[in-house]
A and B are shown apart, each in its own frame.
Chain A
Amino acid sequence: MTHQQPILDTSPKVSDEVRKTTCYMCACRCGINVHMKDGKVAYIEGNRDHPVNKGVLCAKGSAGIMQVNAPSRLRAPLKRVGPRGSGEFEEISWDEALELAVSWLKPIREDNPEKLAFFTGRDQSQSFTSFWAQNFGTCNYAAHGGFCSVNMAAGGIYTMGGAFWEFGQPDWDHTKLFMLFGVAEDHDSNPIKIGIGKIKARGARVIGVNPIRSGYNAVADDWVGITPGTDGLFILSMIHVLMKAGKIDLDYLSRYTNAPVLIDASEGATKGLFLRDEDGKPLVIDRVTGELTAFDKPGVRPDLSATYEKDGVTHRPVFHLMAERYLSDEYAPENVADQCGIPAQRIRAIAGELARVAFDEAFELDHEWTDFRGEKHTKMIGRPVAIHSMRGVSAHANGFQTCRALHVLQILLGTVEVPGGFRFKPPYPKPVEAHPKPHCKVTPNSPLDGPHLGFVQGPDDLALKADGSPARIDKAFTWENPMSSHGLMHMVISNAHAGDPYKIDTLFMYMANMSWNSTMNTKGVMEMLTDKDENGDYVIPRIIYSDAYSSEMVAYADLILPDTTYLERHDCISLLDRPICEAEAAADAIRWPVIEPDRDVRGFQSVLIDLANRMGLPGFTNEDGSAKWTDYADYIVNHERKPGIGPLAGFRGENGDKEGRGEVNPDQLNRYIENGGFYVAHIPQGADYYKPWNTAYQDWAVDMGIYDSPQPYLFQLYSEPMRKFQLAAEGHGERQPPDHLRARIKETLDPMPIWYETDQTGNEGFTVNALTQRPMAMYHSWGTQNAWLRQLHGRNPLYVPTKLMREHGLQDGDWAKVTSPHGEITVPVMEMAALNDNTVWTWNAIGKRKGAWALQEDAPEATKGFLLNHLIHELLPAKGDGLRWANSDPITGQAAWFDLKVKLEKAAPPSDAESQPEFAPIKSPVGQGPKDLAWKVGK
């Protein structure tokens, strides 16, 4: 018998139709091609034309089909019938649900709108939800940024008018050295992977700074297994080495940064502020004329070195202050090595490599451009060093300053907004001054006086009531955390429960699993949500929640507004909040119902419009009292923020041929759908780098509606707003901090980056760092309901470094009791060698509450999986004076998840072999999933 083989059809039909929309399995927002068969979703792949993912797709994205079909999807509005936390509900009609909500909300609005706290989690429609909250009139609105990454957003924006996070990216095509600080996955999931792939293909170097060597750090050519919380010191030490060696880009510093700006040295209320002219422009000495002059005067060449004498006082430029500080031996590698856990030699070598690549491998692009001082340049100088960072820096209480230090390092090397360096994505760059300031003036039956969130520029902008008490329930923009640009969602429940600063009536939340993985002190929060006062009423009287799935949080709400899944609704990923831009293009996108829901659910944004219409909220109502919009799709197309500027920038104007600015186009959504669900406006060559100072870019941005007028500015190596808070703490000005916070403000709000050890109160005896990382294939809690993904990560061991395994006599599969000053968990351990010697970690949000997510109660997520959140408290242990400070960055209020210190002990396996603590199961409002799956749509 010879070889034979069957005849195969190698060209089977792939699908009936491809519908292009935007992924929502995480916040990266990739473009997807949804293949349909028989009207059902058959297969999802990446959209090759899409600016974000260029065809690739992550595991979550490909598993979208299992999400859309998950048994955990909520089916209809729910009204709580059992006690809070029990999971006992009855299904009600939408009319009943909406009327119930209105009956709670309307009186609040008429009486005191601040009694509504509306917090929206990882919301992709913040410009819309904030618009709703503003029109409702409450000051208590924010999304999740405060517990997520406000340190990175604020650190970036205050320093350079743009941030890492999702607002900037390395110049992947040119960079030759990529340095990554504290990132496991990030929001830019696919772009970072595509970028690392490009760098690797080029044979260029990747350096990973991370206590844990997995994922991106595993492929890094060099791994720096730093001691958590010490990045700032490591960075400042590299700054020390580079400055000392003169390996800094003086030309760049003099032109584009406030290094040459003169600092007022006279004693008094202006000490440490910029010298300014009558127009308020910061002053520099012009190197050409030697004259004191406004920084932006045409032709000026600011001098980095010259000082200015007046009235016997020498006013020095920022750069002098920097030299004084960073050349100090305090930052010499030898003096930081032990604390950072990095040998001095290694710190020098990395600094040397940064210098070598930035200066010896510099290159030029023949792109002509003109800067804001009118000078023409024939070339763009590339410095191919790119840095990126995220929550490993962010989620420490010194993260804001560390983030600033990192930006200062980039700026000293001249690698921001240059070829090969770090680049902003529109709508960034944007100076702090171009951002709104926070607003908090509440008036019954009226809208709030302006946007809730923003960027304070000094004590005057804090959100304080007349008596100096916090205006907001989360105490954002107060002396405790003056620059809390994203609010403090992680403090809402505990503050509302404590009635500090005041009591609220209704807590309204949207897609945040606040009784479980997105909260600190999980058990305590569950108790706060169920706690009753002496009358037997809940301390937080009413809770409305919108989720799409049967999450842990559902059980704690009184009224559930069930959302659609991402393939069943309209969404708008807008330039007005967090768009999908790339460094070389502005871009936005939509989602649209590629399938219709098979349940009685509604898109949350449309529900908000319905509520607004029922209450007649001003921004939603025409003068004749009629509703402006029937649903979210209607809003997306027809809402205008300013004349000609709406949620979507593409296909504007009557014929759909205008971009950025233009009249409403009723056909806009169809045009987006035809275009693959997104719109891209490319930045012309010559406008593509040096954006903060590039007239061509500035003009383009004005045309696009990103700014109303050009906004060139300097990078803020020295932050004047921070100095203003320090001045207040020193006793200057009307608004004064409470005495117990003065010292901390003086110390931490230093206008030039510093490193300080985070508050170690109560940590005696707790010496091991405990961290979490995001698994690339799971999205927080919601990956678990996905039958494919949960097989990858169905439980999470505690990874323990070899040294600690030996010290504690532990072996894989043993159990350990892990204690923090706040709590205790008992969990299975596993050894990891490629890990900082004094750090343990686990995957984030794999552990689940029994009964949630339509899983069986004995699911490994609920029996073996666990949360580190039980060990983290929202407040630090009491100080000597009995005060408990927030476990947050003292500047921004960023939740300090990664400051956690623990103690490890070998433990006997719990009697039921389940991770501890255990909680009673919640009743599933949707039942449980089927046993077996053999999924095939097309037969």
Chain B
Amino acid sequence: MTQLPTSTERKMGLVIDLDTCVGCHACVISCKGWNTENYGAPLSDQDAYGANPSGTFLNRVHSYEVQPAEGHAQLIHFPKSCLHCEDAPCVTVCPTGASYKRVEDGIVLVNESDCIGCGLCAWSCPYGARELDQAEGVMKKCTLCVDRIYNENLPEVDRVPSCVRTCPAGARHFGDLGDPDSDVSKLVADRGGMDLMPEMGTKPVNKYLPPRPKDTVEDQIDILAPLLAPVAEEPKGFLGWLDKTLEKL
């Protein structure tokens, strides 16, 4: 139960491309929709139409500004859900065994009927990936859509997490990060996929692909400048060039 399995058969998880995420929140709402209607208690909302609306979400999109030493500030949209850590502190702190990590795929789940809602797992998660549902009093977290990815009532292409299926920009990838030959592992290798807060020792399964370098078009000016050498300085000269060039066409 709250012991972590010594190893898992696979390490299923998400790879999120920060170079591509446009911050549209589609994954957030799709996740809310699926998980409200499926696994466990619905994700409730308090004061839904009032002054202080607040609800349970398993996935939220932040945004950060990065000011490089030189050049323009950059804005980076940053989706975040459970990272299905290999050394998940949220599992080991759980006093009831409600939190567990699955042996077959490494998914970290909460068994809601065992959860006492003590909140300790959320305290132990560095990423803010767990939220206590206020209506149900149990801990909610990303299930990696465990009720989709093997679901035989869904067509095979749809056996991916709801957020991945819906992401319009294709910034979310799903697969086995334990298999070095999987598409997601290759993507992580190619693009320098990174861990969040590696110093926490949680060994997250989910990886983030960093944004590519920005604002580099001027750096190519040496290549581009020759392309722009004037064919003429004056309209007259230009028309002369035009005649010559048309001859060649």
Contact = CB atoms under 8 A, between A and B. Distances in A.
Nearest to B6: A3
Contacts, number: 333
B22 A930 contact: no
A911 interface: no
B48 to A, nearest CB: 4
B154 A14 contact: yes
Given A71-B49, A219-B21, A351 B228 contact: yes
B243 to A, nearest CB: 5
Interface in A8-64: 8-14, 35, 37, 42-46, 48, 53, 55-63
B217 A346 contact: yes
A216 interface: yes
Given A12-B147, A241-B228, A197 B168 contact: yes
Contacts of A61: 26
A80 to B, nearest CB: 24
Nearest to B149: A10
B69 interface: no
A116 interface: no
A319 B239 CA distance: 9
A932 interface: yes
Contacts of A218: 22-23, 63, 74-77
A320 B49 contact: no
8 contacts: A10-B151, A57-B26, A58-B24, A59-B28, A196-B169, A201-B170, A303-B246, A833-B67
B117 to A, nearest CB: 15
Interface in B77-99: 77, 97
Nearest to B34: A43
B183 to A, nearest CB: 12
B25 A833 contact: no
Interface string A214-254: 11101111110100000000000000010111110011001
A892 interface: no
A12 B29 contact: no
B119 to A, nearest CB: 19
With a 10 A CB-CB cut-off, give which of A4, A59, A859 has the most chain B CB atoms: A59
A356 B224 contact: yes
Contacts of A48: 157-158
B28 to A, nearest CB: 6
A854 B246 CA distance: 67
Contacts of B235: 323-324, 327-328
B30 interface: yes
B22 to A, nearest CB: 5
A56 B26 contact: yes
Interface residues of A, number: 119
A190 B168 contact: yes
B221 A792 contact: no
A833 B75 CA distance: 9
Contacts of B37: 35, 37, 42-43, 935-938
B234 interface: yes
Top 6 A-B pairs ranked by shortest CB distance? A352-B224, A929-B49, A193-B168, A833-B73, A197-B170, A246-B231
A789 interface: yes
Given A197-B170, A858-B50, A245 B1 contact: no
Contacts of B44: 932-935
Nearest to B104: A5
Interface stretch (B51-59, B124-132, B192-200): B51-59
Contact of B75 (A213, A243, A287, A304): A213
A200 interface: yes
A931 interface: yes
Contacts of B3: 1-3
A872 interface: no
B30 A62 contact: yes
With a 10 A CB-CB cut-off, give which of B44, B46, B48, B217 has the most chain A CB atoms: B48
Given A10-B150, A59-B28, A350-B217, A213 B73 contact: yes
Interface in A881-902: none
A215 B25 CA distance: 11
Nearest to A243: B238
Contacts of A356: 223-224, 227
B109 to A, nearest CB: 8
A62 B27 CA distance: 9
Given A4-B1, A71-B49, A244 B65 contact: no
Contact of A327 (B17, B42, B149, B238): B238
Contact of B48 (A5, A214, A932): A932
B214 A221 contact: yes
Contacts of A289: none
A198 B75 contact: no
B30 A250 contact: no
Contacts of A860: 51-52
A528 B30 CA distance: 42
A612 interface: no
Contact of B102 (A5, A222, A320, A834): A5
B75 A59 contact: no
A777 interface: yes
Contact of B246 (A198, A245, A304, A929): A304
With a 10 A CB-CB cut-off, give which of B54, B151, B224 has the most chain A CB atoms: B224
A919 to B, nearest CB: 18
B162 A45 contact: yes
A323 B238 contact: yes
Nearest to B36: A935
A549 to B, nearest CB: 13
A11 B149 CA distance: 9
A225 B73 CA distance: 11
Contacts of B50: 855-856, 858-859, 929, 931
A413 to B, nearest CB: 13
Contact of B171 (A37, A197, A352, A933): A197
B1 A353 contact: no
B120 interface: no
Given A2-B3, A58-B168, A858-B51, A932 B217 contact: no
A245 B231 CA distance: 5
Contacts of B100: 3-6
A360 B5 CA distance: 56
A348 interface: yes
A71 to B, nearest CB: 6
A604 B71 CA distance: 53
A194 interface: yes
A832 interface: yes
A802 B72 CA distance: 12
Interface in A768-787: 776-777, 785, 787
B122 interface: no
Nearest to B113: A6
B44 to A, nearest CB: 4
Given A10-B146, A787-B48, A353 B220 contact: yes
A245 B220 contact: no
Given A218-B77, A788-B33, A936-B41, 7 more contacts: A3-B3, A14-B154, A59-B24, A71-B49, A197-B171, A245-B231, A355-B228
Nearest to B215: A222
Nearest to B229: A245
Contacts of B4: 3
Given A221-B216, A353-B224, A215 B249 contact: no
Given A3-B1, A250-B249, A355-B228, A349 B217 contact: yes
A860 to B, nearest CB: 6
A791 B45 CA distance: 9
Contacts of A929: 48-50
A722 B170 CA distance: 43
A53 B76 CA distance: 24
Contacts of A214: 23, 63, 75
Contact of A223 (B45, B214, B232): B214
A144 B217 CA distance: 38
B224 A196 contact: no
A207 B218 CA distance: 12
Contact of A788 (B1, B32, B75): B32
Contact of B33 (A62, A863, A932): A62
